[in-house]
Chains A and B, each alone.
Chain A
């Protein structure tokens, strides 16, 4: 079936099977491998993307359900060489170690900051409960999101 979808601001058309999951369309058809596949059971959050500005687990969304929608992946955040504040602060605050969970973390945090410009640490922890990190112990991720929110308020 034919799917029309806007990915990071660019309108794209794909011919996929109805059973194609959004995460596979992004990685295999669109070639955007920044969106990661891990648990495949809507638990870990590594596959998180923004679908019409809302964070979703793209392993549990059919590509067909995204017909006509706008998708933002990690590749769509930076402005040329200028990192997004979240990317910059994950770097500054050492919010990652292996980096596998980072794209999902950043996109979930993006929705959090969009609805709450000055989140408390507790709100940040609640906001990223659907994203699992096995390296950092989360503290530096929380610090990075908090710093990014501050940078975006300036």
Chain B
């Protein structure tokens, strides 16, 4: 399996990359780690005329920590995120999602920005991005802008990224003092992609009541979504195993779920409830204990 012919450019600066995208328009695609784009091109499901490889641009990779959060460069690999003490400390669910992607070799090449831009409905990161209320910084011909997680994923393989824009970094605020997060998934046994993946991020007040909670679900619907009914039911009260189970059961309710030979729509909606309960329970125990 070999992709159709294309031209390859490797700009050394963001400005050059944006200029290349501007020049070639719809015919150009950004190449990050290539672990979503190249398989699609090899299967001839995409045949861009120009690949703009952004691996040569300084400053798009790495993880920096500030007092209130972390900023992760778009070209940072899953392996780097998985192994980062900063990520483990500030947003544990993101490290868990990175570790759950593919296998060692895939995690060595695949990147955060590439995965987000590809927006596979069964990718792991979107659940965490939604639960962590991440901010996605993108660069375009008109400069930089920040896209909120809630606005980013717009459909299957569709995002709020505009024509000619490149994701440059993702910013996530650190967990609250009494807060934590968790990501759990039911993986498709052959591909490893999420049949259902749930990320929960929780902040408790001094009395142990839920001050804030966000729950992101991936793999179930045509795009990752927030289970707001679950969040609303749990906010304001001290949780219990029973209240979490009851609230989480609604995570798949009313969702227009994916339906294929591997997992039917009803099963996926059921999994959403089960995995929401497990992820919230795990985040809660961590938050209460940490």
Contact = CB atoms under 8 A, between A and B. Distances in A.
A60 B53 contact: no
Interface string B78-106: 01000000000000000000000011111
Interface stretch (B32-40, B176-184, B238-246, B269-277): B32-40
A65 interface: yes
Interface string B271-289: 0000000000000000000
Interface stretch (A48-56, A81-89, A143-151): A48-56
A21 interface: yes
A18 B104 contact: no
A60 B39 contact: yes
Interface stretch (A7-15, A38-46, A91-99): A38-46
Contact of B8 (A18, A41, A60, A128): A18
B109 A45 contact: no
Contact of B10 (A57, A61, A64): A64
Contacts of B34: 60-62, 65
A56 B3 contact: no
Contact of A56 (B31, B42, B53, B109): B109
A19 interface: yes
A67 B106 CA distance: 19
Given A19-B2, A41-B42, A65-B34, A130 B8 contact: no
B161 to A, nearest CB: 22
Interface string A118-130: 0000000001111
Given A40-B42, A60-B35, A48 B105 contact: yes
Interface of A: 1, 17-21, 24, 40-43, 45, 48, 51, 54-57, 59-62, 64-65, 67, 108, 111-112, 127-131
Interface of B: 1-8, 10, 31, 34-35, 38-39, 42, 51, 53, 55, 79, 102-106, 108-109, 190-191
Given A45-B105, A55-B108, A57-B106, 10 more contacts: A19-B6, A41-B1, A42-B106, A43-B191, A45-B103, A56-B108, A60-B38, A61-B38, A61-B109, A62-B8
